[in-house]
Amino acid sequence: MTTDPTVLIQFADWLQHAGGVPESEALRVAERGEVRQFSAGAVLFSAGDVLETLYFIRSGLIRFFYLTPEGKEFNKNFVTAGNVATSLGSFLEARPSPFFAEALEETELVALPMAFVRDLKTSDIAWERLINGFVIRLALQKERREASFLLESATERYEAFLTEFAEILGRVPQYHIASYLGITPVALSRIRARRS
């Protein structure tokens, strides 16, 4: 853990330009932030945790995944820089997260206390807009993902993945992509071979 002032100033700048948060408020919030680095394979939070920290991703790549009692993993999502890493249930209702979050590569985040961010959301319109934007984006993504599993073939889901996650294609192992698509690595290899 570190409190690198340069990173926090850059975070405040991002809050202003990407989030529409006024400069004075962005600087005040950044002062409460803590810069954290996670190496590849490190777990940010686990299923069952009631999260006390909200993470803003500065760089790196995170995967969210479910783990069955038999030890089988199912990838839920991949999250990149400029996004938030949290469980909506924990953030909105202080419920335990149903999934894990793991860094897939060296990842740097700005951590803010969850209670502090909740207070900001209810007391500051700019923060309410920023957080609501993230929540809406996640809800729309979840709706698209559900529809794809019900209405599309594995090949169509893979084609959609190539578009939606173009920036991370070379950064995610194929078995993680297969898990996200709900197919085996062998089935993914066949789909990729047919596209060649």
The pLDDT tens digits for 142-191 are 899 999 999 999 999 999 999 999 999 999 999 999 999 999 999 999 99
Per-residue pLDDT at 2 exceeds 60: no
Per-residue pLDDT at 82 exceeds 90: no
Q: Domain range holding 166? A: 152-196
Number of domains in the chain: 2
As a whole number, mean pLDDT of residues 85-102 equals 94
Q: Which two tokens stand for residue 113?
A: 């206390």
As a whole number, mean pLDDT of residues 50-57 equals 94
More confident residue, 118 or 43: 43
CA angle, 71 then 75 then 76, to 5°: 125
Q: Where residue 24 sits, what CATH number does that domain have?
A: 2.60.120.10
Q: Are residues 161 and 104 in the same domain?
A: no
Q: Give the separation between CA 148 and CA 159, rounded to whole angstroms.
A: 11
Q: Are residues 101 and 40 in the same domain?
A: yes
Q: Are residues 65 and 137 in the same domain?
A: yes
